[in-house]
Amino acid sequence: MTDAALQNFLWIFISALLVNNFVLAYFLGLCPFLGVSGKLETSVRLGGATTFVLIITAICAWALNTYILPHAPYLRLISFIVVIASTVQFIEMLIKKLSPSLFRSLGIFLPLITTNCAILGLAIFATNREYGLLESFIYALGAGGGFTLALVLMAGIREETELTDVPTLIQGTAFNLIIAGILSMAFMGFAGLFSS
C-alpha cells in the first residue's frame, strides 16, 4: 500500500515537472515565460515566488473543493480566483516587509502572478482529478518546479543568444517562440519515462 502510494506521488511529481510540463506542454504561464525570462537570476526568483503561490493555492483549492464546493459547485471559478488574488496580495506584503531588495527586483511581476494562468490552471486540474491534500501539494511542487525549470532554461538560452547575430526580423517574440518550440520538442522525449 505504501509502495503504491509512494509510486503515485512520484508519478504526479515527475508528470507535472517534466512530462506534462505546465509551460512547455500545457502552455500555462506563458506571459512571464516569454516576457520576463531574459535574466537568469530574476527567473529563478520569479519561479520561487510562483511555486510558493502555487502551493498555497493548491492547498486552498483542495480545502474549498472538499468542504464548500460540493454544496455550491457554481462558485468554483470565483472562489479560486479570489483565493489566488488574496494569496498574491499577501505574499506581496510579506516580501515587502521581509526583503525589500527582493521586492524591488521582482517589481511589477508580483501582481502579475494573479493573471498567471498556471496558478488557476493548477487549481482547476487538481480539483478535476480529485487529488487529496498531499497529492495536491506534490502536484503544486512539481508544477512549480517545472515552471521554474522552463523559465531558467529559457533565460539561459536567451542570455547565450544575446551576443549572437540574430536577424532583426526574427528578434523578439518570434525568436523566443521558436526556442520554446524546440524546448517543448525536447521535453516530449520525457514521455518515454512512462512507457515501460
Q: Which residues of the chain form contacts with another protein (CB under 8 A)?
A: 11, 19-20, 24-31, 34-35, 73-78, 81-82, 85, 108, 111-112, 114-117, 119-121, 124-125, 128-129, 169-170, 172-178, 180-182, 184-185, 188, 191, 194-195
Q: How far is the CB of 112 from another protein (least distance, A)?
A: 8
| 164 phi and psi angles, rounded to 5 deg | -85, 165
Cα dihedral sign, 14-18-19-23: positive
Residue 75 vs 134, nearer CB to another protein: 75
Q: How far is the CB of 8 from another protein (least distance, A)?
A: 9
**Cβ 34 vs Cβ 173: under 8 Å:** yes
Residue 52 vs 175, nearer CB to another protein: 175
Question: How many angstroms separate the first and last alpha carbons of the chain?
Answer: 21
CA atoms of 42 and 102, how far apart (whole Å)? 10
**Cβ 136 vs Cβ 65: under 8 Å:** no
Residue 141 vs 180, nearer CB to another protein: 180
CA atoms of 23 and 47, how far apart (whole Å)? 12
Q: How far is CA 126 from CA 23, 133, 153, in A?
A: 16, 10, 26
Q: How far is the CB of 24 from another protein (least distance, A)?
A: 6
Q: How far is the CB of 159 from another protein (least distance, A)?
A: 19
Cα dihedral sign, 138-184-35-106: positive
Q: How far is the CB of 128 from another protein (least distance, A)?
A: 6
